[in-house]
């Protein structure tokens, strides 16, 4: 079993606030992240897949193919977008990095499986100090 990771970046706006809570409660729980007029992050997305090396190509997967899958199913949908308003796969979800990682996993699972490789981990950095890892 071998693992390979492709990294991508995107910029997106969001806010963390529940519509069923008032401003005081949202500010208490989410602090600056509840700012009604949004804020942005420079996200880094790491997608790790696992499987066996193709003895003909020497590859697990073609990284150009993995890059294209990540762009089609995730990056093109979130880059320079508002995670709360613009992104179909985040509709109805609180735009935390945790929820984003799970949603990205759900976006990528089937397309990656088509290659014969297996999705292993979705890791998203929201800031250089904070990141989430999801293993399904
Ligand atoms: Ni934020």
Confidence of residue 18 (pLDDT cuts 50, 70, 90): very high
- Buried/exposed 109-120: b ≥16 CB within 10 Å, e otherwise: eebbeebebbbb
Query: Ligand 1 center to residue 54 CA distance, Å?
Result: 40
Judged by DSSP in three states, 13 sits in strand
pLDDT one-digit tens code per residue, 25-60: 999 999 999 999 999 999 999 999 999 999 999 999
pLDDT, position 80: 98
Q: What are residue 123's phi and psi, to 5 degrees?
A: -120, 130
What positions carry a catalytic annotation?
33, 80, 126
Task: Report pLDDT for 20.
Answer: 95
CATH of the domain at 72: 3.30.479.10
Ligand 1 mean position, distance from CA 33 (Å): 5
- Cα 91 to averaged position of ligand 1 atoms, centre (Å): 17
**In this predicted structure, what is the pLDDT of residue 7?**
98
Range of the domain at 22: 2-134
Q: State the pLDDT at residue 53.
A: 96
CA–centroid distance, residue 106 to ligand 1 (Å): 21
Distance 101 CA to ligand 1 centre (A): 14
- β-strand pairing of 81-82 with 2-14: parallel
pLDDT for the residue numbered 21: 96
What pLDDT, in 10s, does the model give residues 90-129? 999 999 999 999 999 999 999 999 988 999 999 999 999 9
pTM: 0.96
Q: What is the pLDDT of residue 126?
A: 96
Number of domains making up the chain: 1
């Amino acid at each position: 079993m071998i693992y390979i990771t492709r990294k991508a970046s995107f910029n997106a706006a969001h806010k963390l606030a529940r519509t069923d809570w008032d401003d005081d409660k949202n500010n208490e729980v989410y602090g600056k992240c509840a700012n009604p007029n949004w804020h942005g992050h420079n996200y880094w997305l790491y997608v790790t897949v696992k499987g066996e090396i193709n003895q003909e190509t020497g590859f697990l997967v073609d990284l150009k193919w993995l890059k294209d899958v990540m762009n089609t199913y995730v990056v093109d949908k979130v880059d320079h977008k508002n995670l709360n308003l613009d992104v179909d796969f985040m509709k109805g979800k609180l735009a935390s990095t945790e929820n984003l990682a799970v949603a990205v996993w759900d976006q990528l699972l089937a397309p990656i499986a088509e290659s014969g490789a297996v999705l292993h981990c979705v890791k998203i950095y929201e800031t250089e100090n904070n990141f989430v890892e999801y293993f399904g």
